[in-house]
Structure formats: C-alpha cells, structure tokens
Amino acid sequence: MQTNDLSILHLITQASPVVQTVIGLLILASFLSWTLIIDRSRALKRARKAADDFEQRFWSGGDLNALFRQVEMEESITGMAAIFRAGFKEFARQRTRTNMDPMAMVQGAQRSMRVAMNRELDELEKSLPFLATVGSISPYVGLFGTVWGIMSSFQALGNVKQATLALVAPGIAEALIATAIGLFAAIPAVIAYNRYSHEVERLNNRYDDFLEEFSTVLQRQAHG
C-alpha cells in the first residue's frame, strides 16, 4: 500500500483477497449481464419482426385453413404464429364434435391460446430476473468490498507512527474500485431490465389484442 502507483490494475492486484474476490464476482456478473443483454435484444427483435410478419399474413384476407397448414409446415413456430396454431387447432378439433355449443368451441380455443401465449411470454422474459438481481445487489456487493478495504487500510495505518496522504490514498482508492465496478455492473443491467420489461409488456399487449381479434373471427365461424 505504500506505493504511489494508483493505476486501476495495480490497485486491484494489491487489494486484499476479500476485495479481490468481490471485484472478481462483480466482473463475472457484468460479463454475464452483457451476454444476456445481447441475447435478449436479439430475441425481442426477432419476436417483434415475427409478430409484424404474421399479422400481415393473417390480415391479408387469405383462408385460415391454408394459413394454418403453412404455419404447421414451418420449422420454428413462435410468438403470434404459435398462439394462432394453438387456437385454430383446438377450434378445429372441437368443431368435429356433433352438437357442440359454438361458444364452448370459442372458449376452448381461447384457453389454448392463453396457454400458448403464456409460454411465449415466459420465453421472452427468460433471464430478465437475473438482470434485475444484478442491478439491485451489485452496488451493495461493491459497497461491501469498499467498506472491507477501508477497514483494512485503517488497520494497516495503526501500525505506523505517522499517517500521511501517501499512505492513505492507495488503500482508499483500491477500496473505492469495488464500488465503481459494482455500479459498472448494475447500471447497464437496470437499464436493460427496464427497457426489455417494457418491450415484453408491449408484445404481451399485441398478443392479447390478437387473441381477442382471432376469437371474434372464430366466433363468427362457429355461428356460420
């Protein structure tokens, strides 16, 4: 601690084992957060594009039976297409039964679409709790490392006759690095969590609106 080298790398290497452990955990949390931030960004972008594409296909005025067959042939069925498939499949299955109440057919299709929609939302929300956790606890973990480092610095100063700024500064600096890295890990995680939660909510509203509109279409067919 008596060196005047205040570079970040030197301060980290000279920090106490506890502070180094805290810094290591925060760097790992930051790395995982950025990995998930990039992954969720791509997943939500794909979900928005898939919703736009399917809405265009659905409202193009084509035959729903033909659209269902097209969806069934696709390799990956997600988002609005998965909701449509679940609802239409259940509606067609119940329609084959004799003396089936039209409203019961629509309600059965709605239940199937709700289940499919919840699955899609669960997939979109995957990893968001981790980002929320990193954003909420990283500053406190960094603060713990800072408090520990400052305590160690003052304990070391108790062994010298005269405390000077040159002796105090490196110890305080290496302790504060933990808080800085904690904020570095927390801020992007909080921003990403808030943004992605809002985007998931918007997709949820779009899925819910489609479910209601498609239910109206099925209701007309059931009474037709």
| pLDDT, block means (10 residues), the chain with 224 residues | 57 77 92 96 94 92 88 89 94 79 88 95 93 95 87 71 63 81 94 96 95 91 73
Q: Say what the pLDDT of residue 120 is.
A: 94
- Cβ–Cβ under 8 Å, residues 183 and 142: yes
Q: How far apart are CA 117 and CA 138, in angstroms?
A: 33
Q: Say what the pLDDT of residue 141 is.
A: 93
**Of the candidates 199, 205, 207, the residue with the CA atom closest to the CA atom of residue 83:** 207
- The DSSP code sequence of 173-212 is HHHHHHHHHHHHHHHHHHHHHHHHHHHHHHHHHHHHHHHH
- The DSSP code sequence of the chain is -------HHHHHHHS-HHHHHHHHHHHHHHHHHHHHHHHHHHHHHHHHHHHHHHHHHHTT---HHHHHHHHHH-S---HHHHHHHHHHHHHHHHHTSTT--HHHHHHHHHHHHHHHHHHHHHHHTTTHHHHHHHHHHHHHHHHHHHHHHHHHHHHHHTTSSS--HHHHHHHHHHHHHHHHHHHHHHHHHHHHHHHHHHHHHHHHHHHHHHHHHHHHHHHHHHT-
Q: How far apart are CA 215 and CA 220, in angstroms?
A: 9
Taken in order 150, 155, 156, 161, the sign of the CA dihedral is positive
- Cβ–Cβ under 8 Å, residues 30 and 185: yes
The domains of the chain are located at 8-222
